[in-house]
Structure formats: C-alpha cells, structure tokens
Copies of this chain bind each other. A is one copy, B any other.
C-alpha cells in the first residue's frame, strides 16, 4: 500500500447525512439486508434486489467483520451486536454521524442515544422541515398560527440541539422552487388542513416555507440540505434536477445560506457545476456510493470535474444496518484513491489536504462540529 492509499485508509469520516440503525435482534437478516440494499418498495421482487451488486457488497462486509464466521447473518444480541458495529464503524474511521430523523426504518429502531452507543461514536440530529411542518399542522387551524408555531420552532432548532436542516421538497413537488405570496401559501394551507392528509404536498406552501425559513436558517448559521436526484419510486426524478433550483440558489446563497445537495445522482455533474459558480453550495454522492457500488469511482470522478474539492462531502445516507455505512465508506475511499493517485499538477500534501476536506473537515466547519470531531 502506497502513502496515499494508507492516508485514505485511516482518514476520519464525518457522515453528514444518514439515518437510524435498528436493533440487532431482528431475525431474517439476509432478506432485511437485501431490502436495505435498494430504494425499491416492499412489493419489488427480492430476487431482483439480490441480483444487484449492493446486496453482495453488504454480504461481503458481513462476512469480513462477522462475530461468528460460520454464521455471519445471524441475528445478534447485545453486547455482541455492539462489538460487530464497532468493528465496522471503527475499521473505516467513522467519527460522527449526522442523522436525518425524518426517515424511520422498519423494525425496532434505536433512538439517538442508543444509536450513538451502538456505533460507538457521537451522533447529532438534522431537522427535517416537512416533518415538523406536518406535526405543527395537526395543532393549528389556520396558516398564520401554523406559520408562527413552525417558524418559531425553526428559529430554536440550534438551541434545541439540531446541527442542520433538510428539505425533501424534491419528493413532494420537485426542485423548481419559486417565490410565492402569502395569500397563495395560506390557500395551500387551508386545502391541506381540510384534506385530512398529514402529508404536505402543496407546492405553494412548500415554496413559501423554503423561501421564508431561509433567513431563519442563515441567522443560525446552519446548513440546509436538499434531497436531489436518486431516491425511491416515490420521487419524480425528472423534477429532481438541481438546475431547477437556480432561482432559489441565486436568492439565498449570496446572502449566506449554506445549501447542501444530497445524493445528486444522476445529476452529480450538474451539482458540481452549481458548486463551482454559487458560493455556499455543497454536495455529496451519498446513496450511490453504497447502493451503486460499481459506479462510485466513476461518479466521484464526474462530480469533481468542475467542483472545488472543498465543496464535495462524504456521506452514506445509510440506515438500519452497519453494512450500509461500511460499504459507502469502502467504495468512497476507493474512489478517493483512484482519483487522487492519478491527479496531475498537485503534490501529495495538497492531495491529503483535499481528502481531509472531503472526508470530515468541510463538514466539521459547516455543521459547527469542530470541537466534537477531534482527529
């Protein structure tokens, strides 16, 4: 192993976008691992999912770090399961997880404290805007009351311990965000409130929310993540192109809103371009690094054709099982070695500085985690 490989091997990882893990005692770990290795719904044939490489990457990790080499897919009890998790998170030098609590895996999930204990490193929470907006809708009868309660909660997010925000507008209305007046927003609220549905799908209301929380987020100097591109069958990926966000980015990034585009595939080149011309714009290739493992290196190379190396971040978007976090780390670190070992014009010190930036340093600054992440 050469010097660069060795460096990448031990570089710490701040996983700035992932989800909860579950308890180790869930049986039928083989099928559950397969389900986690895809964005498909439950009614998608598991046989096809097992014919994707991601599942086999999970299996390979399970075997490599197994407590019982003869039975790597056995359900595990404490404290063995924590040992297994520590092996994987430790091997890849994960130092912190930032958890979007809005997505909740099936099966008994662990809360933030339990997750931290299981994985053996600190975890912090991201505030998912739509989820909280929906909770406040249940408590309020009109737009003004709802907005006051919700925006007040947003203002206190940092004080409440959150380290960033996230929007899943891409899942609900697509990324063509537009300014909306309060009358349209209020009408959107009324329709929603009377629909009997908790799920927020009003385009005027989501647009209004995103345009009006931006100053509140800037005031707390916290980043705002957006789901972009790749996701499950519930997202209209045609409307998940980040180029559609241009008006929003123009309106707020120059005023100091730090925007983080998550996943991005197959629009990672578009995301890299945006990062090269808009200040305060960051992105990652999460979810592709573990669920599309044969493409991780290619997609990373494409993503950084234009982007500064100080604007792309490591993330896994993993949930449920440690193998999903581990495979993201394995494929991402391999992609780093492949890319930087071939890079002309710069010396090894510069390459190491950029690798540090990508893996933890930029995220540490962005989410104000410098103190927590001592490396």
Interface residues of A (CB under 8 A from B): 38-41, 43-45, 47-49, 51-53, 56-57, 59-60, 230, 232-233, 236-238, 241, 243-244, 246, 250, 254, 265-266, 269-270, 273, 276-279, 288, 291-295, 298-299, 301-302, 304-311, 339, 343-346, 350, 354, 357
B266 touches A43 (CB 8 A): no
Contacts A43-B279, A48-B310; A345 near B237 (Cβ below 8 A) = no
Contacts A52-B307, A270-B266; A343 near B237 (Cβ below 8 A) = no
Nearest 6 A-B pairs (CB), nearest first?
Answer: A295-B305, A238-B243, A292-B305, A56-B345, A233-B277, A51-B308
Q: Which residues of B contact A292 (CB under 8 A)?
A: 305-306
Which of B52, B232, B291, B311 contacts A48 (CB under 8 A)? Answer: B311
A306 touches B291 (CB 8 A): yes
Q: Which residues of B contact A304 (CB under 8 A)?
A: 294
Known: A43-B254, A233-B278. 15 other contacts (CB 8 A): A40-B276, A40-B279, A44-B278, A52-B306, A52-B308, A52-B309, A53-B344, A237-B270, A237-B273, A238-B243, A238-B244, A266-B270, A292-B306, A294-B301, A298-B302
Which of B237, B291, B307, B343 contacts A243 (CB under 8 A)? Answer: B237
Can you report 22 residue pairs joining A to B where beta carbons are below 8 Å apart? A40-B278, A41-B277, A43-B254, A43-B279, A44-B277, A45-B279, A47-B310, A51-B310, A53-B345, A56-B345, A56-B350, A236-B246, A237-B243, A288-B305, A291-B306, A292-B306, A293-B344, A294-B301, A294-B304, A294-B339, A294-B343, A295-B305
